[in-house]
Amino acid sequence: MNEQPGNQPTDRSPTGQSPTGHSHTEQPRADQPYTGPGDPRVAALPPEEFAFPGPLRDQLVAAILSGTKTSTTGLVAAYEHEDEPLPRVGERAAVLDSDGRRIAVIETTDVRVAPLAEVDLQHALDEGEGYGSVAEWRAAHENFWHGPQSRAALDDPDFTVDDATPLLLQRFRLVADLR
């Protein structure tokens, strides 16, 4: 999507060894903290984009970084349209800001597919966007999904949701703030 490939050394294999088999540098261990957006482990993560670039994405990324956003909702139809697999528990991703920079690492802690009518208040609250009710959450999400950018992304100018529309309800935790 909008990701930029990381700067990978060209004289090393994935194990960090030169073609002669001698180690040039010690590779970071998986349990070590991420060192920033240039960390090769961050560059290797799939990108995670919340909304479209602009004010809404900026708001959502700020909520992730502050810890108030720990859930998100996606259209199963969007994953199918992009031929992308649904996220799985334990997977990590690099959160992109509106400029396409890798600004955080999140880890999926729960995934479920449910119809729109079954989204509960806790999920709406955990989205960290200030919703006080499921009705508020639903109105905002319907407005987004029925908007021109969402319809264009789905290549369906008449796309609409209803109570039976399958949604991806994802929970995650902030692993690293890369700012």
For residues 148 and 127, give the distance between their C-alpha atoms in angstroms, rounded to a whole number.
22
Cα R_g (the chain), whole angstroms: 18
Domain range summary for the chain, segments of one domain joined by +: 40-174
Instruction: Kindly indicate whether the domain formed by 40-174 is annotated with CATH number 3.10.400.10.
Output: yes
Reading the block at residue 145, the tokens are 């999904």
DSSP element (H, E) containing 173: strand 166-177
Q: Which of 12-26, 29-43, 53-67 is predicted most confidently?
A: 53-67
- pTM beyond 0.95: the answer is no
Could you read off the pLDDT of 105-163 as tens digits, one per residue? 999 999 999 999 999 999 999 999 999 999 999 999 999 999 999 999 999 999 999 99
Instruction: Choose between 19 and 99: higher pLDDT.
Output: 99
For residues 93 and 48, give the distance between their C-alpha atoms in angstroms, rounded to a whole number.
6
Strand-pairing partners, residue 37, are none
Could you read off the pLDDT of 61-106 as tens digits, one per residue? 999 999 999 999 999 999 999 999 999 999 999 999 999 999 999 9
Angstrom distances, CA of residue 7 to CA of 12, 30, 42, 144: 12, 19, 11, 35
